[in-house]
Amino acid sequence: MRVLGIDCGTERTGWGVIESDGRKHRVLAHGVIRAAATKPLEQRLAAIAQGLRAVLQDHRPDAAAVEEVFYSQNVKTALKLAHVRGVALLAIAEARIVLGEYSPLAIKVSVVGYGRAEKQQVQMMVRMLTGLQGVIETEDASDALAVAICHATSCRATASQRAGAGS
């Protein structure tokens, strides 16, 4: 299965595409969609939408996954992040692919085994789980790859549970 993971941000939206059977994961591509902080929010959202549509077109994933909205100390920041997430959900819906949504805790537990893992730990485990030798451009791209791995692992676990229920 080919999975696109997205780490939403108003200035940097990370993305990562993996090929996975739920156990073994291979990075196909990753990057960051940058939107200038000096631009109005609506222009940043348009740039992010355009970038995500291009990634979806170029890599043709079977599924996509994003992080759920989480409570933030700064409500204004949380609302802006929710706007970016909405743009990501729209691009995924337009591509007509399966969507997975995961809490930050679930993503970290899936990748690192510990829900309060630091970003450096997540990046290290993403590299270990995928065998990626090269550098991951940013923490945003690394986090996006972690979201994709979480989805692939979750799909495998769900399929195993269904198979077990049918026996």
Q: What are the tens digits of pLDDT across the range 150-166?
A: 999 998 766 555 555 55
Residue 131, CA distances (Å) to 10, 11, 48, 114, 123 in order: 30, 29, 29, 20, 12
Domains and CATH numbers, the chain: 2-165 (3.30.420.10)
Q: Which pTM does this prediction carry?
A: 0.92
The active-site residue, picked from 11, 19, 140, 143, is: 140
Give me the percent of the chain exceeding a pLDDT of 70: 92
Active site residue 140: yes
The active-site residue, picked from 7, 42, 118, 139, is: 7
Q: pLDDT tens digits for 19-39?
A: 999 999 999 999 999 999 999
Q: What is the mean pLDDT of residues 72-85?
A: 85
Checking if the pLDDT of 60 tops 80, the result is yes
Return the biggest CA–CA distance within the chain: 58
The active-site residue, picked from 19, 42, 58, 67, is: 67
Buried b (16+ CB within 10 A) or exposed e, 46-76: ebbbebbeebbeeeebebbbbbeeeeeeeee
Active site residue 143: no
Active site residue 19: no
Average pLDDT score, the chain: 92
Give me the percent of the chain exceeding a pLDDT of 90: 80
Nearest one of 21, 24, 43 to 34, comparing CA atoms: 43
Quick check: helix, strand or coil at residue 102?
Answer: strand
